[in-house]
Structure 1
């Protein structure tokens, strides 16, 4: 069977791509096909100058005055409002704060407390580990709460009158399978439960509609498709109708109504700001703001169309070029049920991943046997996909992955 997409056809698709100019806004290494933006996004060119200004001008020259002079104090709300556009939320429904794990804890406790007569946090087995760990920690902290896991195909029917909150990751971190956000949210609301969505593998690659799906709560990280840099601050969303009804369990001073009154007693701020906690990480926010700004003129429709086209072509090419080489697709074949990464299982997936990285094709491994390939619409092109599959086919045909040094697991996989 011939290639379903030859190199000339790939180049022609790149020339017709409405997002092709975006690649120049990222500092990508020459010769590398970066297919791991679903884990750590590439560095925006503007991030370096933004951080340089934050360090050399705002911090070094203007010192503490920058909290007012350069708007440091309002950066969580300002960057949150920019992210809100990407997730179908109002500008005052999103704030940047803390980490994804901390935000999960805050919102899970708030949701469970708000549904005080219910005891169950409902989620699915195989959810992203930090989501499960935080849920287990919340259940251990709040008396009488339990975590119940139900497979994805039974989730909606499993929501009952004891369900306080349904906690799900919109796009599964390993397989890329995507939940029907609107349907599950509606099913939860029909039984009086709240829903908390983790958008970490969605935002910046796929259109998401918080208001259109009537979502209650959400969290997401800043360092994947938002390209905010390693350890970038995360964000949280709380629907306006719930903001003044929910109480954050981490009542830090930045969530106080008047933090610089220095009162002894905590009084929560109005609106989304009550979900802040500690001092904003200004340097991290500077990098994240540069990453989010790249989306200012990007059409959500173009983003989705390219994400699906890239991943569809990749699957078709891999199955044509690499047939009989031990790869099994574990992501949904239907693009409408898939996020912006594709995973294949292989008996030696870790070594295979290392062999590809050594040849400039960067994906990643997820235990026990998956190799993931991310499709970041802003800087990945169709010719990149052609090169990646060509390299993958060569590595498999030559068994180039079968080396002991490729099989030694590093601390980060």
Structure 2
């Protein structure tokens, strides 16, 4: 494992003149080699299944590679805990897993003090719970607050949930129009909120463009309008530093199968600031969120603290894998992870400028690294067909309308040489489509 001290290396790029060549592959190969040699997190790549193969994986922001030790963890659980302890496991450990792992995520990834984060349901279900609870609380305090604010280009689930909850509760949706190559900024949010706003749903990193929102400023603008803010952290948790407590965030939800490598369909996390525990009533009242879980009482009484935001039986098996990546994040530190993430995306942009721009490929993400998360989107009219060609040759990005090839670079498992190989394949595929 790598020490924290080893993670303090600052990334530096070669002088711009070294990147200019009539044959761009030669200096980029040298640069990739130099960056990998200087990478303080390079050894962590070997911790992931498949990193030793020639496959290029540009989709770690959709589904992360599994850590090698996860297979052993899952096997041990089946034979020793599940097989050995059977139902005793609930009393001995499993009932507390949503809180124990939630607190680890809060501490390592979210900037959240203990007792405010849980692992529970899918991202969709948790967003529904917290969004509906926030709307109900604000509307009860002020019946004029009946508006939910959301960006027109947010992830479909977020938008669909807002529309459904608004219809269910008789609320109104206020849409923020955004540039699809960017996201919500302070001016756009100020224009959308007002005395009728109940809750604002925002994405920390835009799923399409990778735009990194100024969470502290947008949270403050929301509060100045008297509303609550709910942050979607799906594309930032584990890749971009988050500081929910310091930012004054009310609520947040994020998935665990991207940069936390929890596996396909692994359960999401929910953050609720402690000041809201007693006032928010979540709408899916299940037995696991009751004050006395095993009383089996005739009526529902919500538990204190974060337990009240649980509904059904915790998905124990599905919570196991993410712990191995949390080990790596805690060892490396989120600051070093962000530094490598920026270095990876900066390198990807230099390579794109050198070998893809001459082919008509344009950038559909912010160029400023301070406004960009862990992925970049490249645009070209042939990108849908290009994506199919790449998948057939074991280069795995994903496609997003309109005409976008999304390059997701997971700092713990992606090398600079892999970035160069993959973007070279993109160039070949674009040429083949001409």
Residue 205 of structure 1: how far off its partner (Å): 0.7
Corresponding residue number in structure 1 for 2:256: 222
Secondary structure, aligned partner of 1:89:
coil
Corresponding residue number in structure 2 for 1:381: 415
**Contact between 2:382 and 2:430, CA under 8 Å: does it hold in 1?**
no
Corresponding residue number in structure 2 for 1:41: 64
Corresponding residue number in structure 1 for 2:131: 108
Q: Deviations over 1:102-161 (max 9, x none)?
A: 00110011101110121000011011000011111111111x311110123512232101
Corresponding residue number in structure 2 for 1:73: 95
User: How do 1:393-412 residues align onto structure 2 when only pairs under 5 Å count?
Assistant: 393-397=427-431, 399=432, 401=433
**Contact between 1:33 and 1:360, CA under 8 Å: does it hold in 2?**
yes
Residue 244 of structure 1: how far off its partner (Å): 1.4
CA distance in 1, matches of 2:384, 2:296: 53
**Contact between 1:228 and 1:292, CA under 8 Å: does it hold in 2?**
no
User: How do 1:333-344 residues align onto structure 2 when only pairs under 5 Å count?
Assistant: 333-344=367-378
Corresponding residue number in structure 2 for 1:249: 283
Secondary structure, aligned partner of 2:244:
coil
CA distance in 2, matches of 1:169, 1:10: 32
Partner residue of 1:84 out of 101, 106, 111 = 106
Corresponding residue number in structure 2 for 1:124: 151
Q: Deviations over 1:55-98 (max 9, x none)?
A: 222222321111123x1111100110111021111121100000
Residue 324 of structure 1: how far off its partner (Å): 3.0
CA distance in 2, matches of 1:389, 1:108: 39
Partner residue of 1:271 out of 305, 317, 326 = 305
Secondary structure, aligned partner of 1:365:
strand
Corresponding residue number in structure 2 for 1:296: 330
Of the structure 1 ranges 23-32 and 116-125, higher mean CA displacement relative to structure 2 is found in: 23-32
Large movers: runs of 4+ above 3 Å: none
CA distance in 1, matches of 2:172, 2:234: 24
Q: Structure 2, unaligned stretches of length 5 or more?
A: 1-19, 178-183
Secondary structure, aligned partner of 2:202:
strand
**TM-score, normalization by structure 1:** 0.93
Matched, 1:64 2:64: no
Corresponding residue number in structure 2 for 1:308: 342
Corresponding residue number in structure 1 for 2:5: none
CA distance in 1, matches of 2:318, 2:132: 26
Residue 377 of structure 1: how far off its partner (Å): 0.5
Partner residue of 1:25 out of 47, 52, 55 = 47
Corresponding residue number in structure 2 for 1:406: none
Corresponding residue number in structure 1 for 2:388: 354
Secondary structure, aligned partner of 2:104:
helix
**Contact between 1:326 and 1:347, CA under 8 Å: does it hold in 2?**
no
Secondary structure, aligned partner of 2:406:
strand
**Contact between 1:233 and 1:288, CA under 8 Å: does it hold in 2?**
no
**Contact between 1:38 and 1:225, CA under 8 Å: does it hold in 2?**
yes
Residue 308 of structure 1: how far off its partner (Å): 0.8
Q: Deviations over 1:176-231 (max 9, x none)?
A: 11211111100011111000000000001111110111100000001111100000
Residue 288 of structure 1: how far off its partner (Å): 2.4
Of the structure 1 ranges 22-31 and 100-109, higher mean CA displacement relative to structure 2 is found in: 22-31
